Amino acid sequence: MSETKLPGLSISIIEDGTPVYKRGFGFRDLSNGFPATPETLYCIGSVTKSFTCLAIMQLQEKGRLCVEDPIEKYVPLKIRPKGKQIEIHHLMSHTSGIPALAYAEAVIRQAIKASGEWLPISSYQDMLTFMADADKWAHSKPGERWFYLNEGYILLGYIIEKVSGEKYADYVRKHILKPLGMRRSYFLKEEVEKDHDAAVPYIVTKDGERIASKYPYGAILSDGGLISNVVDMANYVAMFTNYGISDGERIASEKSIKEMMKPRIRLPHEPFIDQGLRYYGYGLGIRSDFFGYNLVGHGGSVLVSTAYMGFIPEKRIGVIVLANGSGYPLSYIGEYALALMLGRNPNELPYIKYEEILSELSGVYETYKGTMRITVSKKGSLLLIERKDKYTEFIAPLIPVDWDGDVKIFHAISMDRKVPTEFIREDGETFLIYERYKLKKVGKI
């Protein structure tokens, strides 16, 4: 939090299917010095998507719909990617074939005044108009490829309202939040503003300045509109680890919960340091090998508020982390906690190994007898190799190729060339082989 200037954070941990730990860190309100608590409210962003899918599964259990139904049965929108009908489950698993239309990105940025784009979408009807010819933007047939599509979850919200006869917020409140005892989880601005423990959302700039902002409230909620706290959310996570049961009450069938957690499509991105394959289910992501177990969860961000929910069904453990800013992946904190609960060394986590390697290789390097000096520095999630003098400047990003062993191999991207670059650990010292040069690390930046 100190490094990234994150204002406040709250966390809760679930063991044996029961919340066992809760705490707030930092500030929910900087100007008044109010602390973050376990009860502090934050926008959970796309973690809301799992609530939307849970609602769909409940309605399927009641025979009101089937996830294999074409969306045209419920939505007055005829979009057929590559000539094929989209079915409800395609929206749930982000496999409609339509790449992100960036509606949410535009709306969030205009709400916090981060950009000048204006996208006047405030209702389902506006969204239907916006998506009217989205099939022309399709890249693949439904079911073939994963493309995260916030707009698809808006359509799921529409379907929930059409089938249930209730407003989306009312349905979720009545059939999910209330049975789970989530009494301080809200969708409406007026509800949040009346609450005594709501976090001020902050823009954390690249210079570390924290600017008080606001949540992107609106009438469209099913893709990321829920505002909650880690106490309530711990009940939600515990319900998944108990396969649909909360405090003796069944929220959804065991079959429905397992269907949500079932891998549907492999994700196109993988870590440089392997720890299992990534998949997407229904409103939930799945990692196949987290220290030998399936890790299920989801993240959320509206830029001024971030969230992470993760759990391991086999071990009935889980974690929920919420913050009133962005800049540090909350999944890292959550995974660290889960590793500890499994009795494993968190330093084995890919992101920690990655950060350690970047830090280890960063520094000042010199050629033979100091005739030339370059720097290797961490910028975001990459290393840059740089050489500057009074009149010239050379900068090249380093793309990881092989991390294992004492020799770490990268490709430096220089003009039209891909230059093999090696970092060699030898006799306690670090050497860099770049093009014609051999350089030795002589200090920190």
pLDDT in tens, the chain (445 residues): 888 889 999 999 999 999 999 999 999 999 999 999 999 999 999 999 999 999 999 999 999 999 999 999 999 999 999 999 999 999 999 999 999 999 898 888 888 877 767 788 999 999 999 999 999 999 999 999 999 999 999 999 999 999 999 999 999 999 999 999 999 999 999 999 999 999 999 999 888 899 999 998 988 999 999 999 999 999 999 999 999 999 999 999 999 999 999 999 999 887 666 667 899 999 999 999 999 999 999 999 999 999 999 999 999 999 999 999 998 899 999 999 999 999 999 998 988 888 899 999 999 999 999 999 999 999 988 999 999 988 999 999 999 998 878 899 999 998 889 999 999 999 999 999 999 999 999 999 8
The answer as to whether 2 is a domain residue is no
Q: Any idea what the CATH number is for the domain that residue 153 is in?
A: 3.40.710.10
Write the CA distances from 400 to 340, 383, 430, integer angstroms: 28, 9, 17
The reply to whether 357 falls in a domain is no
Final residue of a structural domain among 350, 378, 410: 350
Same domain, 333 and 419: no
Same-domain check for residues 316 and 212: yes
Determine whether 105 is exposed, middle or buried from the number of CB atoms within 10 Å of its CB (0-12, 13-18, 19+): middle
Q: Are residues 325 and 401 in the same domain?
A: no
Q: Which CATH number covers residue 431?
A: 2.40.128.210
In a domain, 224, yes or no: yes
Q: Nearest Cα to 89, choosing from 106, 65, 107? A: 65
Which of 296, 325, 350 is the endpoint of a domain?
A: 350
Q: What is the pTM of this model?
A: 0.92
Do residue 249 and residue 122 come from a single domain? Answer: yes
Domain around 409: 362-443
Boundary (domain end) residue, out of 321, 350, 379:
350
Q: Is residue 190 part of a domain?
A: yes
Same domain, 112 and 242: yes
For residue 3, is it within any domain? no
Q: Do 295 and 274 lie in a common domain?
A: yes
DSSP secondary structure letter of residue 83:
G
For residue 51, count other CB atoms closer than 10 A to its CB.
25
Do 338 and 381 reside in the same domain of the chain? no
